[in-house]
Amino acid sequence: MFKGLAKEGESTMAKSIIDTLVNFQKHGTASLASAMIERRYLYFPDTKIQITPESAKIYFEDVIFQSLDGLQLHGWFVPGQPKRPVVLFCHGNAGNMSNRVPMIRFLNNLGLSVFIFDYRGYGNSKGRVNENGTYDDARGALRWLLARGWSTSEMIFLGRSLGAAVALQIAIEKPPARLVLECPFTSIVEMAQLHYPRLYRLFRGLVRAKYSNVSKIKAIRSPLLLCHGTDDRIVPCVMGERLYDLAPRPKRLLLAKGGGHSDGDILGNPDYYATWHEFSDLKRPHPENDQQEQIITC
């Protein structure tokens, strides 16, 4: 999240935004300026697929499907063990799904099927990215799984960073058996206020994306696992803890001591594996007490 902004100081970024505004005042509209700023400072897509699951000796299907609004998207389906759930994987705002092969392998080693996809403008997916578009892309991915015969009662929605906001939105609309949010932020507004307070005061009207997890989290109806690294310098752990406090039960919070924003900081942790293994076992009797909550530190 805000990966590219770390390379620019606030004054440099301000000059860049002002140049954009001047250009669009002459040749475009405010909405186009807003879209351009979001694409430069919020989304960091890579159109080149670096590797595939085959590099990790994982069988996969190359999937071409449509977003809810008709754009052509690209995804991978990795089959798991019979009678095990499928994970609908919404990745973060940088790179593309090829950067998530280690996480795909982790999930598949648990016996889980995985359907990961690229948002519009990422990898081989068509179009240009925006907030509503990412939601429509995930809706299209869910529709593809439903057409393949999966039901939401057999699904785990997984979202990391920006993808946590996407997974959360779709989980509210179509509750899955389980919801996993990793390093989620509270909202784009609070991220901007945290990292670039002066710029936010000057240009807050230009970024239309909200991704307001903090206003939505109370609406979930699925058991929640929220994971966050305690040393995450991009999305502070306190944001994840705040979302956890607001979320309805049943819920679990896994805090990775010393963990940063990358999933590579936690994939080898045995407690992380054990937590995923238990949480993904949909046959395990769920406690009747809907007040259940648990905090795990690993």
Query: Does the residue 168 lie in any domain?
Result: yes
In a domain, 13, yes or no: no
pLDDT beyond 70 at 62: yes
| Domain CATH code at residue 180 | 3.40.50.1820
Mean pLDDT score of the chain, rounded to an integer?
86
Q: What is the pLDDT of residue 208?
A: 78
The reported pLDDT for the residue numbered 4 is 45
For residue 170, is it within any domain? yes
What SS3 string covers the chain?
CCHHHHHCCHHHHHHHHHHHHHHHHHHCCHHHHHHHHHHHHCCEECCCCCCCHHHHCCCCEEEEEECCCCCEEEEEEECCCCCCCEEEEECCCEECHHHHHHHHHHHHHCCCEEEEECCCCCCCCCCCCCHHHHHHHHHHHHHHHHHCCCCHHHEEEEEECHHHHHHHHHHHHCCCCEEEEECCCCCHHHHHHHHCHHHHHHHCCCCCCCCCHHHHHHHCCCCEEEEEECCCCCCCHHHHHHHHHHCCCCEEEEEECCCCCCHHHCCCCHHHHHHHHHHCCCCCCCCCCCCCEEEEEC
Q: For residue 134, is it within any domain?
A: yes
Q: Is the pLDDT of residue 14 over 60?
A: no
Residue 15 pLDDT: 47
222 falls within a domain: yes
Confidence of residue 263 (pLDDT cuts 50, 70, 90): low
- Among 2-6, 77-81, 121-125, 265-269, whose mean pLDDT is lowest? 2-6
* Residue 38, domain member (yes or no): no
Residue 17: pLDDT band (50, 70, 90) is: very low
Mean pLDDT (whole number) for 76-91: 97
Residue 47 lies in a domain: no
pLDDT of 218 strictly over 50: yes
Provide the whole-model pTM. Answer: 0.88
| Boundaries of domain holding 137 | 55-202+210-297
pLDDT at 23 over 60: no
Per the structure, the count of domains in the chain is 1
Residue 197, in any domain of the structure: yes
